[in-house]
Amino acid sequence: MSKKTPSSIIVRNTQPQDVPQIIELCRRVYPNGVPWGEDQLSSHLRMFPEGQIVAVDTQTNQVVGMAASLAVLWDDYDLNTNWRDFTDSGYFKNHDPQGHTLYAAEVMVDPTMQGRGIGKKIYATRRDICRALNLRRIRAGARLRGYGKYADQMPPEEYVKKIITKEIGDPTLSFQIKQGFRVLGVVRDYLQHDPASHGHAAIIEWINHQAATRRDYTGRDPRFAKPRKKRTDPPTPDPA
């Protein structure tokens, strides 16, 4: 049986009838526990329907990806705020219509459909939402999914720096950097009960240049800056 191509996938706003399929998707992505319940997903749709999207395979009408977001006024939070507080325990009741930041609380793709462009389509749609709502940026806590393999060798901050310089790769953060995000910092104990990351996450940001102010580009931690590309000057011609 041949693999489906990305052209069979559409990304649209989540509808109430999608909730059962999203919960089944959660079971495939998180076999050790479902992170989103029906009451939480329904709350997302009540609080901020524009920020909830699903990827659907048009050949099977199956939900194969999803993303959940809310708007926040970033000044109301600290960079070290954990996932539970950023999302009001996953209910998004802290969604602020006056907020300037789209907080990306979740994104997932069916494990059997990864590598087919679904994640890229979801991220592109989320950027479109940010632009359409004239929000200044997208921020998120990037779960350090590969950190468990390195936890006895380095702290999470060093792990993230090595991902930025491409010395090592992380299944989540490396992809997000390719999608135009940059790292602002590392938060310890961002997630509970996540042995893969030891609970740690990188706070990442994508700037909407059409809406951002000068202040939105300041205050970045230089430890997590992308390395500058080496300048390649043209060769000096041999003397005549």
Q: Tens digits of per-residue pLDDT, 144-185?
A: 999 999 999 999 999 999 999 999 999 999 999 999 999 999
Enumerate residues 6+ apart whose C-beta is below 8 A from 72. 86, 94, 95, 96, 99, 101, 103
The CA distance from 240 to 223, in Å, is 46
Q: What class is the 6-224 domain?
A: alpha beta
* Residues of the chain under the 50 pLDDT cut: 1-2, 239-240
The CA distance from 96 to 153, in Å, is 40
Q: Which of 216, 231, 172 is nearest to 75 (CA)?
A: 216
pTM (2 d.p.) = 0.89
pLDDT of residue 232: 57
pLDDT of residue 213: 93
pLDDT of residue 228: 72
Report the 10 Å Cβ neighbour count for 21. 16
Where do the domains of the chain lie? 6-224
Asked if 99 contacts 127 with a C-beta cutoff of 8 angstroms, the reply is no
pLDDT of residue 122: 97
